[in-house]
Chains A and B, each alone.
Chain A
């Protein structure tokens, strides 16, 4: 059906765009890709990827699958798949991801944890199981 005509600007290309003149305050929860060129404060969670533009100002906890940062982020970042900080990125907060890339020139103040929390849980769970098995064997 022509409702999905690709020639026109469609919301299906990118689900959410927060432009330079827009600021979002509160808890933003999405399921698709998010592009931020404006400002956001609070929390930002999505199952899709997040792109934080050069002039963007983010004062929020950010969670997404693939996260690219070129602007300023004050808050923790959790990327389930990968996190990329470009040369213009300024990050003040802790980061957690599986794959991390930091370009020369980027500024980052905080702790970095590699591996997702789910992986950690699995590791903890498997090590606990091993311990239990070891105890059983000893008995």
Chain B
């Protein structure tokens, strides 16, 4: 039984035709299911929890990376398989990495049902797939694998990456998270007036378990632009937890 969740970014009039083509193709391939459109009154959380109660086996995200990450963050049942049909103008780097083509063409991938098992991250009990972002702060302590502390003097946030984030791609099959700190160097005359940040070699530190706390106040940890949890937070890797339909 399939459940298709159509994100608001794919509900734009521009994509109505694409959506109709997708629905027709799904019918042709015999992978029909219920369509749920996200609205102000219907959140992803309600739809995912309702689907779990009803025993849905496959949830298909029609939208972008944001849609996939939002669905995963509300999943509690690890037997559900996730599919993806990229549609809309937002980033689709997850689909790209999994060799899933845009729009209607993704339906053929769904019907082939090649399932990959990928790692998920878990922060304070909630799953995440792509990455998390911890704002830079002198008071934030990051402890990795219960054996060493990580401190950063730069202004860049610490990214905890499982799969991908802004061009950096982690390996979601290695059983590790990666703490990534973007390094910047300031060049040029009067650099204190005009700083031109140039990217140099970023810090990459693999870890299975990360504990974040702030000595002064609780700081937010973001998944994309949304606050997922607040510190203190325990972040861990859950190997091969996600069943996702991928291209060949």
Interface residues of A (CB under 8 A from B): 1-5, 8-12, 14-30, 35, 37-38, 42
Contact = CB atoms under 8 A, between A and B. Distances in A.
Interface string B197-225: 00011111110000000000000000000
Contacts of B116: 1
Interface of B: 96-99, 116, 145, 147-154, 156, 167-174, 178, 181, 183, 185, 200-206, 246-247
A23 B151 contact: yes
A110 B205 CA distance: 30
B62 to A, nearest CB: 21
Given A2-B99, A19-B200, A28 B147 contact: yes
B167 to A, nearest CB: 6
Contact of A19 (B145, B169, B201): B201
Which A-B residue pairs are the 10 nearest by beta carbons? A26-B148, A21-B154, A19-B203, A19-B183, A8-B169, A22-B203, A25-B149, A27-B147, A17-B204, A23-B151
Contact of B203 (A10, A17, A27): A17
Contact of A9 (B148, B150, B167, B183): B167
Given A11-B178, A18-B203, A30-B206, A1 B150 contact: no
Given A3-B169, A5-B169, A11-B170, A19 B147 contact: no
A84 B183 CA distance: 26
Contacts of B206: 11, 15-16, 30
Given A4-B171, A25-B148, 13 more contacts: A3-B98, A10-B171, A16-B205, A17-B204, A17-B205, A18-B203, A20-B200, A21-B181, A22-B181, A23-B153, A24-B148, A27-B147, A30-B206
Nearest to A37: B201
B96 A2 contact: yes
Nearest to A39: B151
A9 B152 contact: no
B147 A11 contact: no
A47 to B, nearest CB: 14
A25 B142 CA distance: 10
A27 B173 CA distance: 25
A19 B202 contact: yes
Nearest to B147: A27
Contacts of A22: 150-154, 181, 203, 205
